[in-house]
Amino acid sequence: MAEQAMLDVSMIAHRVPLRRMLKLAQEESDALAGLVVSASLIRLLRSGEREPDYIGYLISRYFGVQRYLIDIESMRALISAEGFRRHVIPYAVDGPALVGPSGSLPSRVKDEWARQVIVEEWDFLMNHSWLFSKTRAIVDYMIDGGSNALYVTKERLEHAIEAVKGETHDIGEALRHGSDRLVGRTLKKPHNHRISPNDRVRALAKWVAVGGAGTAGLLVPAAGAVVGTAAAAFLLYDP
């Protein structure tokens, strides 16, 4: 599979990134290239099996988006837009998936649909790499289920941005370039490599997780015994 990024449910449910992606899907569809979304989320929105209010309740409860920020009709408009259908790929996990070292989800996740979405997102992160999220809920499920996250704080980023501080007047832009530099070094990418599969949508995310084989070389030496096994670890940062 070519390098792609999974959109967490919160990215499609939260009205801020939703409105921006809906505009991109309608006016500049190729801006959504390189993105993947849970097949279970797509099926639920298209099926009509559950009422919009109940879908909103599930998303709010399990994926950390406040109910008043969720617009189910706009979510359905996004997944129905030609640009979305052409470029965004549903990702499914067939059969049981041992996505973490213990293969278990937190017991607080009672709903079967929510459990399947978490499995699909977790499996994608562990096997393919990128996950964009507006809330931390999905990351916390993974950590509670046995995966380990190496969190890159802004203090750590300060060391990565020294070289760019003097070259920009915008400290926010400097932090973004600094985080890119650190993540790029983690993934062993050349300095001019595009950092993520879709930087425009990544900018709408609050959290970015990077997993899969690309992180194995650095995560274990960097975190030592805390991380344990590379296959169960991922890098988490705020772009």
b vs e for 117-152, b when ≥16 Cβ sit within 10 Å of the residue's Cβ? Answer: bbbbbbbbbbbbbbbbbbbbbbbebbbebbbbbbeb
In angstroms, the CA 141 to CA 104 distance is 10
pLDDT category of residue 221 using cuts at 50, 70 and 90: very low
pLDDT tens per residue across span 90-127: 999 876 555 554 456 767 788 989 999 999 998 898 88
pLDDT at 183: 56
pLDDT at 177: 54
pTM of model > 0.85: no
Among 229, 224, 216, which Cα is nearest to 129's?
Answer: 216
Neighbouring-strand partners of residue 35? 5
pLDDT tens per residue across span 126-164: 888 788 999 999 988 888 888 877 776 555 555 544 544
Annotated domain spans of the chain: 5-237
Q: Check residues 198 and 181 and name the one with the higher pLDDT.
A: 198
